[in-house]
Amino acid sequence: MYKLLIADDEEIEREAIKMFVLRAGLPVGEIFETGGGNETVTAALKHSPDIMILDINMPGISGLDALEKIRGAGCRVKTVISTAYDQFDFAVRALQLGAADFLVKPVKQDILVSCLTHIIEYLDSEVPAVPRTAFAQDSRWGSGDIAAKLMTYMENNFGKKITLDDIAESCGYSKFHASRIFKAATGKTIIEYLIHIRIKNARQLLAATNHSIKEISAITGFSDPNYFTWTFRKYTNLSPGQYRSNILE
């Protein structure tokens, strides 16, 4: 039987997760609950849970800061990030800290149970004498590492005319396999993340430089200024010019 730590500042969310786990009959013997970041660090180090469901937005220190402290103390608890914040910036840091999966709040029972089942299957398969790298190729933990590498490649090369093939080859995978791994680890497609990075940097350039829209389009990897404007509007509800005007007001 495994130990589970539910870290969330919303009591109703903790109760829902606990109910889903118990209803599904998962092999979880002890369930601990915390509602704050510092409290979560203390509970994780005291109880050494096997699995932790961790909300990002908690009082005290954030869930990700708590996870960093837990990792720093040598606790390798399998962690699932639960958050209402659908932002890639959180995903990047969470993956770097070894997060296994992401759940968007309010957490749905079928998704939660499926996620925990994968983790428990992995825990069941662990053999102390076998290095974890033996499981990396096809496990969610290896998938997380690969997704983080794909993210890093895109962050370093978003200004170039890179293709899905280029991104996948940076980790030695086909575009189909890399796409499946990235989607499983982040809930988003590779192209969605690339566009996110490009728009994020375009917003920074619009706010902090005098570059023209055409120049910013080229700097951020868009081959056509018109497509850049269309994409920018889709993601921000403003044209690049409108966004710059609002910032300067």
Q: How confident is the model at residue 30 (pLDDT cuts 50, 70, 90)?
A: very high
Q: How many CB atoms lie within 10 A of CB 129?
A: 4
Phi, psi angles (nearest 5°) of residue 86: -90, 70
- Residues 98 and 45 grouped into a single domain: yes
Output b/e per residue, 136-153; b: 16+ Cβ within 10 A.
eeebbbbbbbbbbebbeb
Strand 51-55 relative to strand 2-7: parallel, antiparallel, unpaired?
Answer: parallel
How many domains is the chain built from?
2
Reported residue count of the chain is 249
- Residues 109 and 157 grouped into a single domain: no
Q: Using N-to-C axis directions, what is the helix angle for 109-125 and 11-24, rounded to 10°? A: 60
Q: Which of 64, 91, 126 is the last residue of a domain?
A: 126
Q: How confident is the model at residue 99 (pLDDT cuts 50, 70, 90)?
A: confident
pTM, full prediction: 0.54
- Residues 159 and 79 grouped into a single domain: no
Q: What tokens appear for 42 in the block?
A: 């203390």
Contacts of 172 (CB under 8 A, 6+ apart): none
Check pLDDT > 60 for residue 142.
no
- Residues 113 and 143 grouped into a single domain: no
